[in-house]
Amino acid sequence: MKQLNPSLKLHFLLGVFISVWIFLFAFFIRPFEHGTMDFEKWVYVSIGFSFIAFTSYGILALVQKRIYQKTKIWNAKLEVFMLLLFYVLYTLGTYFYYKSPFVEGFYNFWTFFTEIILIAALILTPILILLRIYALKLLPKKSDLLTIKGENKLDILKIRQSSLICISNSQNYVEIFYIENDELRSKLIRSSLKNIQSNLEFLVQIHRSHLINPVHFKAWKDTSTIELTKMELPVSKNYKERVLAL
């Protein structure tokens, strides 16, 4: 996936759905039935495993939001990393709970992993993937029209998001470059690059003085310069990885 829905509320709801599924799976399927657990203990197992699933996915939701806010990008590697993070947290949490006085399980870690976690993962992973794809469909549709405001009342520019190329720092101002009638135009607005970036989260920083609209990225001219629509900009080493991920 090349997108992420960072909504914590939505992902916590997905966590509730996953925890309910884990409860039903543990209670009715009983993946490690060995004849030593009575009804009460199975209730403890099911509730404990489902709570740990919710907690693990909640941590995943917080971590992915932090990463997305920092990098402004998402890709298949990050998606796989998030799924692995969930299973690491869930495996460790459920194993320690399984060995606790509440359950008193006797499987060692390897047996627990192969007999329980792998079975659950084979069934749960497709569900997780489908839920996360569905989350993308719930992303709010944004209007293509942008309103960029500066510190002064007269500092205002309304353009389409698709026409915005980049925004560059210019002392106490920022210079906005955009396409109008197939021509490159620019406008100075009194503001800071930091304020602009906080309001326009889709922009990608490539240099301490430049933010770009990734849809206008064309190619690398050399190892430190990129070509955009009708212009070129330098890329600093600190931000090169972000550009390579576009």
| Res 127: pLDDT | 93
Residue 75 near residue 244, CB atoms below 8 Å: no
Vertex 90, ends 87 and 95: CA angle to 5°?
120
Q: How far apart are CA 240 and CA 131, in angstroms?
A: 32
Per-residue pLDDT of the chain (246 residues; tens, 9 = 90+): 678 888 999 999 999 999 999 998 877 877 655 556 677 777 888 899 999 999 999 999 999 999 988 887 889 999 999 999 999 999 999 999 989 988 888 889 999 999 889 988 999 999 999 999 999 888 776 667 889 998 888 889 999 999 999 999 988 899 999 999 999 999 999 999 999 988 888 899 999 999 999 999 999 999 999 999 999 999 999 998 888 887
* Contacts (Cβ under 8 Å, ≥6 apart) of 193: 167, 168, 169, 174, 208, 209, 211
102 within domain boundaries: yes
* Of the residues 104, 137, 170, the one at which a domain ends: 137
Same domain, 12 and 133: yes
Q: How far apart are CA 210 and CA 177, in angstroms?
A: 11
Same domain, 85 and 179: no
2 within domain boundaries: no
Same domain, 107 and 168: no
Alpha carbon of 171 to those of 167, 176, 226: distances in Å?
13, 13, 23
216 within domain boundaries: yes
Alpha carbon of 76 to those of 4, 22, 101, 136: distances in Å?
11, 25, 40, 14
- The boundaries of the domain holding residue 19 are 8-137
1 within domain boundaries: no
Same domain, 34 and 112: yes
Same domain, 17 and 133: yes
Let me know if 27 is exposed, middle or buried by CB neighbors in 10 A (0-12, 13-18, 19+): middle
| Res 242: pLDDT | 85
| Res 216: pLDDT | 95
Exposure class string for 185-223: b at 16+ Cβ within 10 A, else e = eebebebebeebbeeeeebbbbbebbbbbbebbeeeeee
Q: Which two tokens stand for residue 39?
A: 């009804």
Same domain, 122 and 71: yes
117 within domain boundaries: yes
**Domain holding 211: CATH number?**
2.40.50.1020
Residue 154 near residue 118, CB atoms below 8 Å: no
Half-sphere exposure of 114 (CA within 13 A, CB side): 4
Based on the structure, what is the number of domains in the chain? Answer: 2
Look at the pTM and tell me if it is higher than 0.85: no
